[in-house]
Structure 1
Amino acid sequence: MATTPDGDRRTPRQLPIADRDRKRLLLKLKLATQIGEGLDGYIIGGIGMALAALTTALHVSTLWQGLIGASPLIGIFVGGPAFGWLADRLGRRPIFLIDMVVFLSGSIAQFFVVDGVQLFVIRLVMGIAIGGEYAIGAPLLSEYAPRRNRGRLLASLEVSWYVGYMVATVVGAALANVNGGWRWTLGSSAIIAVACLALRGGVPESARWLLSKGRRAEAEVLIAKYGIEIDVEAEVADSEQQDSLRALFSREHIRSTVFSSSFWAFLVLPYFAISTFWSKVVDALGLGSDATSALLVYSVTAVLGVVLGTVVVDRIGRRKLLIPPFWITAASLAVVALWPNSTPVVVIGFLFFIFLNAMSSALTSVYPLEVFPTSIRTTGVGFAAAMSRVGAAIGTFLLPIGLNRLGVQFVMWVGAGVLALGGLISHFLAPETTDMDLAQAARTARAHN
């Protein structure tokens, strides 16, 4: 007997109508958001596999290699806050559709590029759409998710990111020896985007968002139809009257804004930088010439890590899943920096880094959604996603330059320092929000301010 998204093992015929409708909606939302999250991993993994071939084909300089690698991350900086702000003002549903249309258009356009500048611009636009995905998809799912396993449901979105990255690696490897294979690798994201867009038709508006806008009658229809677990009075009471972007920096919410932005940025910066330029890192560490096989191991290890994070997120609590892995991964990269010429040390150090970094990254789809109230949730998540990608973009842009000028040891020390800083900030700012209603979780986060 299959388990439904909220953990109920009864068959659909055994469930009340509201329960059946909720489970169908949760499944549809889960798939629509998982694919959207997976597309971010897919385009990052795809460029990592295609970069060497397109550099030769398009005569791309080192500078433009860095810019192309960082372009989606730069785009998220714009798209996250912009789409998040729009979703808080206009509703989740329309923006949920629009951002995927933008992404689909960019995916198709990648196939026809003739120089590095065009590819940079197109992937920048795709990054803007991915920013919208972070701001809208997971918040919309969270606003329908049951409290008892909300963490696992949301963390599964991060599994999709790593699966998307891994699939892109496999596709890129399969097309590596095909004439113009890099074009097919990049353009193949359009196929996934079409499937994602099709799933989003018929998705209703968020009942929590309707409550935050004073549209109580409409919200109560959805609450009754889908049997949503929701504290109606708390949602109404927590509505923000000021502009959502301005509210992020108010005394009431500034701690949540700083925490969600910083932990996310420090967590993903080393991962994005190293994975995007994996072949250069492998060469610098003298791990052999088969960078593709090493990248596949990297990807599989990351998937295993984030799957474990998804399994334990509701069991051990948010803080325990976040803070210890920060310190252990920092130590892992420090060990690689100390003994860069020892193959066993480098391999073990990287495996610890990849696995534990991916495990705690499950929280990037959980924590930012829980520390903001509904009225500013998508703006807050979009802003946090933007800040995370600013850090990742800086790291991705500077890594090849750092390797060429300062060496691999310096790069590993910087990565270790970034992770240690993330652990320190999380120790002081991270609230414990496990097993709380969304409104209660947001209030707990505000109580720390």
Structure 2
Amino acid sequence: MTTAQVFAVVIFVGMFIMIVLDKIERHYVTLGSGILTLTVVFGICMKNGTAIMDTLALKNFASKDFWYQVTESESKGINWATIIFIAGMMVMVEGMAKAGFFRWLCMKIAYLVKCRTIPIFITFMVMSAFLSMFIDSITVIMFLAAVTVELASLLKFNPVPMILSEIFCANLGGSATMCGDPPNIIIGTSLGFSFFDFLTNTGLCAGICLVVSVIFLYFAFRKELAGNTSAPVDMSKFPKPSEAITNKKDFAISCIIFACAVILLVTHATTHLTVATIGLFIAAITLIAFGKHALELIKKVDYKTLIFFIGLFIVVSGLEETGILKLIANFIGDISGGNIKLMIAIILWVSAVASAFVDNIPFAATMVPIIQSLAETSGVPISTLAWSLAIGTDIGGSATPIGASANVVGTSVAQKNGYPIGWGRYCKKIAPATVIVLAISTVYLFVRYL
């Protein structure tokens, strides 16, 4: 190994360890690691100014393909399309939250099923999966868990089974579309896949798995939830859904903007508008629509996550530029011996196991160039490997309380309200559900693509 390769690996491993230990905020870790990569790997070891400029990828902003793309172009360095899209969706979601959209939706569904525990349990799982197809799962769980705790105090049931099921279904729903989970955004923007590509491939698999998951989780938790179902419910004691709407005009506007975002994402393969353009447009119309509250929405954007992405992309670029990722791809190719089934299984299950314990975002960003190299050397279609990676990283994160951001948020909301969820409590039912879904996904990938 060359000096540059050694330093690139040391920086990457050090970054991963720091993220797992969680002693320093992760955006500081990746940004610091990114600066080290630029200075030590590219500057001192390689003395390559071109590699630095390619990694920073600032010239992309002046490129027509960045905003309007007819043919697929390779993404290198910082994936600014991902950064802009996530930022735009964050602004839209903050606007929807301010208008009371999420709280209204939860209360409306509770009313429709007459506040009966088991129907709420099933409909909230399905709603968690559906919303997570279009909105970041962290936001979905934040509001769903809070409303679940409120309903639990009124209906006198334990909210933990419902929150655990909502977390699992949010991660499952996020795997269905390109904008549902950050790893999918990275995979889609890097490899040129559209919203519709994900929906017809990972989306179909997620739909099958959702049906099985709802049945499994219902039987796993029914005894805990069935305790108070016989008691009559006095609907007059519950807050009305309309009370959740803080401003009717803002509520209507936020619904229209959300519909626009969905339409633009579904049609972007036809319109050729990139996700960067869609993200910027959605953010702009949200800020214009909310007028005097625009500055408040901008302040609420999660800038720490955006910085985390930027640093992460730089570190992964260090592995790519030094040829480390190509070596890993060749290693996976050698292990599988050219057996496509084994290759798919390795990518799916290794991604899942890794994502159960470490953040699935850096793992996905690292694996994208690896599967590109694998596709080139083995002749396996890149799309087949991409769907294996997407499903593995998205679903695997469900298995443990730290595997995905939605898990951390959901368990935190429960703990703040006096319902602590330990590793044992979490993994007892959710880890088996994860294994079942991964097994179904493996069969799905084999049957459909081989």
TM-score normalised over the length of structure 1: 0.30
